[in-house]
Amino acid sequence: MIRQKKFLSVIQHLLLIIMCIIAIFPLYWMINSSFKNDSEIFTASFIPLKPTIANYVYAFSSMPIIRMMFNSFSIAILMTALQLITSLLAGYALVRWKFRGRSFIYTVFSLSWLIPFQAIMIPNYVLINKLGLNEQILGVVLPFAVSTFAILSLYQNFKAFPVALVEAARLDGESDFGILLRVILPNIKSTVASLGILLFINGWNEYLWPTLVTRQLQDEPIQIGLKSFVNSDTNMWGSLMAATTISCLPILIIYLVLQKQVVNSFVRFGIK
C-alpha cells in the first residue's frame, strides 16, 4: 500500500517536473541565446561557449530600448489605472443602484466581451484618427480604458460584499463615492490588487493595437520594437533574444517579487 503511494507520488512529481521544464525551457533558451555570438547561435549548446554581450550592445544601439520600455510601462500603467477606475465605478453602480435598464446594461457588458478586438479595430482606428490621437500614448490607451472582464469580476465581488456595511455607511451619512472609496475598497484591496496585476500584464503584452496607432520607434512599446530585428533582409536572432530578455525583465521581476499575489490573482479570476 505504502509502496504504491510512493510510486504514485514519484510519477506525479516526474510529470510535474517535465511540465515545468517545458514551461521554463523557452525562457532559458532565450536568455542562453542572447549571450551567444552569431556563429554559435544555431548550435544546440546549453550554455554559451563564448559568452558575449555584443547582442545587448547592438540591441541598445540600434533601438531606443529604454524609451520604448518606458512607453510600455506608461501604456500598461495607464491602462490598468483607467480600467480599475472605470470598472470600480461601473461595478458599484450596477450592483448598488437600482435603475431602469440595469440588467440590460449588464447583459450588454457581458456580450461585448464576446466581440473580438479585431472586429472593432478599424472603427476604433478611424475614431482615434479623427480625434487626432494618433502617435500618442493616449491614443493607444483610450480604447482600452474600459475592461469588461474587470467590470464583471468586480461586479461579482461587490455582489458578495455585505450589504449591512454599505447600509451602515449610508446611515452614517456617507456618499456613494465615499462608500466605494472608504468602505468597500479597503476591504477588497487584495482583490483589486490581484485584478490590477492581471490588467498590467495584459497591458504590457498589448501588441496589435499599438502597432496600428504608432509609427515611430520612440512612440512604440518595446514589444513592437522586437520585430524589427527580424525582417525579410536579415534575422538578428541574437539581438532579438537580447532585446526580448530585456523586455521580459519587468514582468519577471513582478513575478518574482509578487509571486504569491500573481498566482493568487490567476486562481481568483480563474485564468491561466
Interacting residue ranges for other proteins, rule: CB under 8 A: 162, 164-165, 167-174, 178, 183, 186-187
Shorter beta-carbon distance to other proteins: residue 170 or 268: 170
Neighbours of 248 (CB within 10 A): 16
Q: Work out how close the CB of 156 gets to other proteins at its nearest, in angstroms, rounded to a whole number.
A: 19
To the nearest whole angstrom, how small is the minimum distance from the Cβ of residue 16 to other proteins?
37
What's the closest the beta carbon of residue 29 comes to other proteins, in angstroms?
46
Considering the complex, state which of residue 40 and residue 176 has its C-beta at the smaller distance from other proteins. Answer: 176
Closer residue to other proteins, CB minimum distance, 65 or 179:
179
Name every residue whose Cβ is closer than 8 Å to that of residue 151 and which is 6 or more positions away in sequence.
86, 87, 90, 91, 94, 109
Least Cβ distance, residue 260 to other proteins (angstroms)? 21
Report how far residue 33's alpha carbon sits from residue 11's, in angstroms, rounded to the nearest whole number. 32
Q: Which residues sit opposite 230 in a β-bridge?
A: 235
Of 166 and 243, which CB lies nearer to other proteins in the complex structure? 166
If the CB atoms of residues 123 and 162 are measured against other proteins, the closer one turns out to be: 162
Cα–Cα distance for residue pair 113/118, rounded to 1 Å: 13
Nearest approach, Cβ of residue 164 and other proteins (Å): 4
Which residues, including other chains, have CB under 8 Å from residue 48's CB and lie 6 or more apart? 32, 35, 36, 37, 40
Cell readout for 66 is 529604454
Spatial neighbors of 215 by CB under 8 A, at least 6 apart, are: 135
Q: In this structure, what is the dihedral angle of CA atoms 208, 210, 212, 217, given to the nearest 10 degrees?
A: -120
